[in-house]
Structure 1
Amino acid sequence: MSAVATGEETAARAHARAVRRGRRGNGRIHAFLIVVSVVWLFPVLYSLYTSLRPYSDTAEHGYVSIARSFSLENYKNAWTQADLPHYYVNSAIVTIPAIVITLILASFVAFGISRYSWKLNLPLLMLFTAGNLLPQQVIITPLYRLFLEIPLPAFMSSSETLYDSFWGIIAIHVAFQLGFCVFVMSNYMKTIPIELTEAAMVDGASVWRQYWQIIMPLCRPPLAALATLEFTWIYNDFFWALVLMQSGDKRPITSALAGLQGQFFTNNNLIAAASLVAALPTLIVYFALQRQFIGGLTLGSTKG
């Protein structure tokens, strides 16, 4: 009996030590996450703090000081001076079609790669994936010259070529985002049992019906996750609109922020307010698709 009791006491002590180690480990993880969250949120919170301060307050006391007053005047001025509604429309014209076209084309390629076996299956996936490894800045000059040479019909754009047109910006976003979407979609479709499409083939379903009525309804989580990511990346882009678009009134909302900077004077309070207003659509999209976004990132992670 004493040996049994000693063994039970030893096991109990070992279990207690394991619990204490687990608690210390969880405590360190939580502390790390709190620190990272604070560091990540600090610029946003400081921008919010600055945007609510009148310029006269920061001019007198400095930006690193306690605010004497708060107001929404900077948001009102940013909305009118930067003409944010107009640039919201420009961003929507570029972002929404680019996302839709990218996801449709990516689902086509992913369906062919994941559901059928053929000689160019793996090379095709590698080709699309390798496109993500090419730095965008490397091809500025050839793309600029190419866009100047490709004509556009008059009914598609007031500009005569892809340069300085919404279609050109949409095309470049689709080209660069397609590889990542194909990679994610193909990996997810591979987790869907092949027996579903085989059964559909036995029942006489066409390839299009297999794609549209069987596979695509099961791909809603990854589509929602990709739509959220793509919206954030394309909406926040300023580089390609600056390089491939000449008319300032056609550029997306990110260029409106640059228009608030003067040559000899910059109101950082006004820019902080405009930046937060410009970021609202990305926050709305993320919170609206948050559940699907998280589900799209985790579904299939435990499957063999």
Structure 2
Amino acid sequence: MFPMPVEHWKPLNRRIYKLSLPIALLIWLLPMIAVMVTSIRSTEELTEGNYWGWPKHFALWANYHEALTTSPMLHYFFNSVMITVPAVAGAIALAAMAGFSLAVYNFRGNTALFATFVAGNFVPIQILMIPVRDLSLHMGLFNTLPALILFHIAFQTGFCTLFLRNFIKQLPYELVEAARIEGAGEWTVFFRIVLPLIRPALAALSILVFTFVWNDYFWALCLTQGDEAAPLTVGVAALKGQWTTAWNLVSAGSILAALPSVLMFFAMQRHFVAGLTFGATKG
């Protein structure tokens, strides 16, 4: 059976695997390590050209304090929270109802509608830049938080529906029939039967969508102008000066911007793994 467990590999292959894995991990983490080291490097060392050496003087508190106080980072952080939380909640709610309908009900056009959700995930987001920007201008939503919230809900719902429809489809249909026989309505079946059973999938999907929306830079740059509605990703880019750039402050801001999604993943890691492996085995 493929893939073969590592314990069953030939000794030479196992040795090569054990040697190459730390090297691959180091290469993968190297950019993040460089950003973390730069975030604690003093401005004097950067001026002297010490970009890759180990810092002689640590400026951890000074850099992070300056990144938070000399720019509206807290305002950007608040905007990111106000964008991400409603977008995740809205996308998950709509996708759960749409996935339930596509998985449970057999109606005309079910397959075509599901194929539309699938096809929408293959549309390159770059080609939507001009129409979405023009639409936000015509609707009077440009450079506002609702513009980003509505767009992320619309764009993430397709992927979430595809994800949840497949999970709900794996549930025993007899549970739905038994609940209907007992007199439960469709909303009761949805809230009392289906949602508790797909809770691991909802948790895993919430983490994924939170990461997508929180780390978004492309649409935040297209649909905002200035600091009023800019999220944290655009705020970090604003730390770059016109003539010179304090890369230690940019690195410190990048670390601060990445912390919420990293902390959420580790806090929800057990649910995330359970959601990804939900339905993978029988019995």
TM-score for the superposition, normalised by structure 1? 0.86
Match of 2:127 among 118, 138, 145: 138
Q: Assess if the C-alpha contact under 8 Å between 1:82 and 1:257 holds in 2.
A: no
CA distance, structure 2, for counterparts of residue 288 and residue 68 of structure 1: 34
What is the CA-CA distance between 1:43 and the residue it aligns to?
1.0
Over 3 Å counting, the alpha-carbon distance change for 1:127 and 1:49 in structure 2 is: same
Aligned to 1:103: 92
5 Å matches for 1:120-139?
Answer: 120-139=109-128
Q: Which stretches in structure 1 are left out of the alignment for 5+ residues?
A: 1-17, 151-160
**Secondary structure, counterpart of 1:69 in structure 2:** coil
CA distance, structure 2, for counterparts of residue 57 and residue 253 of structure 1: 27
Bigger CA radius of gyration: 1
Aligned to 2:185: 206
CA distance, structure 2, for counterparts of residue 19 and residue 170 of structure 1: 48
**Secondary structure, counterpart of 1:249 in structure 2:** coil
Q: Which amino acid aligns with 2:71?
A: A
Over 3 Å counting, the alpha-carbon distance change for 1:21 and 1:220 in structure 2 is: closer
Aligned to 2:15: 27
1:234 matched to 2:223: no
What is the CA-CA distance between 1:246 and the residue it aligns to?
2.5
CA distance, structure 1, for counterparts of residue 217 and residue 227 of structure 2: 12
Match of 1:264 among 243, 256, 264: 243
Q: What do residues 161-202 of structure 1 show as CA deviations (whole Å, max 9, x unaligned)?
A: 121221111111111111111111011111111010010011
Aligned to 1:291: 270
CA distance, structure 1, for counterparts of residue 8 and residue 138 of structure 2: 69
Q: What do residues 106-157 of structure 1 show as CA deviations (whole Å, max 9, x unaligned)?
A: 001100111122222211111111111111111222222222222xxxxxxx
What is the CA-CA distance between 1:283 and the residue it aligns to?
0.9
Over 3 Å counting, the alpha-carbon distance change for 1:58 and 1:184 in structure 2 is: same
5 Å matches for 1:73-92?
Answer: 73-92=62-81
Q: Which moved more, 1:58-67 or 1:205-214?
A: 58-67
1:149 matched to 2:138: yes
Aligned to 1:66: 54
Q: Assess if the C-alpha contact under 8 Å between 1:200 and 1:210 holds in 2.
A: yes
Q: What do residues 83-111 of structure 1 show as CA deviations (whole Å, max 9, x unaligned)?
A: 22111110011000000000000001100
Aligned to 1:3: none
1:41 matched to 2:29: yes
Aligned to 1:5: none
Aligned to 1:222: 201
The share of aligned pairs that are identical, in percent, is 38
Aligned to 2:42: 54
Q: Assess if the C-alpha contact under 8 Å between 1:191 and 1:303 holds in 2.
A: no
Q: Which stretches in structure 2 are left out of the alignment for 5+ residues?
A: 1-5
TM-score for the superposition, normalised by structure 2? 0.93
Aligned to 1:10: none
Q: CA RMSD in A?
A: 1.8
CA distance, structure 2, for counterparts of residue 246 and residue 110 of structure 1: 36
Over 3 Å counting, the alpha-carbon distance change for 1:53 and 1:247 in structure 2 is: closer
What is the CA-CA distance between 1:28 and the residue it aligns to?
3.5
**Secondary structure, counterpart of 1:107 in structure 2:** helix
**Secondary structure, counterpart of 1:133 in structure 2:** coil
